[in-house]
Structure 1
């Protein structure tokens, strides 16, 4: 990396990867005829790291929160997280549903959308929810960026969201959950923690509210982190964003199971 990241501690997988690369360089310099083999090993090494980045719930590349801690489980807490907003049409309706059920949620907001709707972001905070970092512009190729590109995306959103809400985001979620090995040092540099999910409803692609709901409540348990979308949400055949049909049913199911939704920052200290 080309910027300070003193808090970064590489995972065992990253350490082994560095060892493999260093060994290949030394072997190639010592026995040049081995270069086709060492090149193949390097390519396999990078392929493994790439696959790890395509698994949103993987911790091979760095720490990744996919469940709430045990003390939150004991309190019967789950975390509903809502991505890709704020959306001026959908988010206010989501807030009203949450208020009606006395639930709190975590909104992973896109920096540039937050800049367009700052009052909506402040309303999210005013109602007792939290806003976290979902990158500056939600680039579809986020996982292909180099360290400086990742830094611009994450730090840019961090600054915007802090200035708009007066609160520093604590957590980051990558676009579609996809990342590469360069992300973790950036998060360490900015004091952020990566958060993925326990289960999701695929509500950006699935327009059937029943299917989305069933994906979320199947084996639902305390400590789960659930993913929905207020931005980029698929719409039902009637033209309603799926989240508006799913969220009330989900909150009713939580109540039946004696579970309650809290923000990530209240559950994870």
Structure 2
């Protein structure tokens, strides 16, 4: 089965990228045609590159293409949120996360590193079997992901798509960039594959914060329908007691969801297909 979705139209280039291409062309003409204009044209190009870099370093930015930071209004009106859990699966943490979710009757979306899914295939299948979702968080979670060119990004994402489909039998519909960082080459790849870029509404910084109370406060301050929450079962920080912070935070977080009448749903349940050509 092909994992590439037939796109109904050419990639819709974001205005910032379109303007950047136009400016590069204009700068080249100015540098060649106007005496003394080359330094100014080069400076303008450098400023443009700085703007593109800043957009890629802002995980919730939509300047480089669509970016899901909240669930649709209909889901928010139903009191739905999305609990997303990154960087696993981790056999020392993920099973306990699954138990806590089951105990509270909530669903989560696991943005998994495909390399780890290969190493822990049975655990990845258990995530799906227990009613949750496995989505694409790249193949190897490379620290230089945001510096890759179009071929490098496509290779990372497509390899992960294939691994996750082979292991779980389900084709991911969403992608989260490592650390949320990206560049202008990412969205054309995601569009071709029919993948939503998904970031978050609020995050707990639980890969570096060792105090569960502070993580919980970040996640629940103003928590409301439509929010997308970010936690980690992989690379999880440890509390002073040595326990993974996510396991200390989840019981209280899920209890607050219950008292606020919020239901955590999977992203596939809340989001439409990115384009009509996407296949299941």
Instruction: Indicate the TM-score class for this superposition, using the shorter chain for normalisation.
Output: over 0.9
CA distance in 2, matches of 1:169, 1:32: 53
Could you tell me whether the CA contact under 8 Å between 1:7 and 1:188 is conserved in 2? no
Task: Give the equivalent residue in structure 2 for 1:207.
Answer: 210
Which residue, out of 7, 10, 16, partners 2:19? 16
1:224 aligned to 2:232?
Answer: no
Residues 110 and 34 of structure 1: CA distance in aligned 2, closer, same or farther (over 3 Å) = same
Task: Give the equivalent residue in structure 2 for 1:83.
Answer: 86
CA distance in 1, matches of 2:86, 2:198: 12
Task: Give the equivalent residue in structure 1 for 2:271.
Answer: 268
Three-state SS of the structure 1 residue aligned to 2:82 is: strand
CA distance in 1, matches of 2:245, 2:199: 21
CA distance in 2, matches of 1:7, 1:231: 36
Structure 2 portions without partners, runs of 5+: 1-5, 273-280
Which residue, out of 155, 158, 166, partners 2:158? 155
Deviation at 1:31, TM superposition (A): 1.8
CA distance in 2, matches of 1:254, 1:131: 22
| TM-score (normalised: structure 2) | 0.93
Give the number of aligned pairs: 266
Q: Map Cα deviations across residues 13-61 of structure 1 (whole Å, 9 max, x no partner).
A: 1111111111111111212521111000000000000000000000000
Written as runs of structure 1 = structure 2, the 5 A alignment for 1:1-269 is 7-269=10-272
Task: Give the equivalent residue in structure 1 for 2:277.
Answer: none
Q: Map Cα deviations across residues 105-144 of structure 1 (whole Å, 9 max, x no partner).
A: 0000001000001111110000010100000000111111
Could you tell me whether the CA contact under 8 Å between 1:104 and 1:128 is conserved in 2? yes
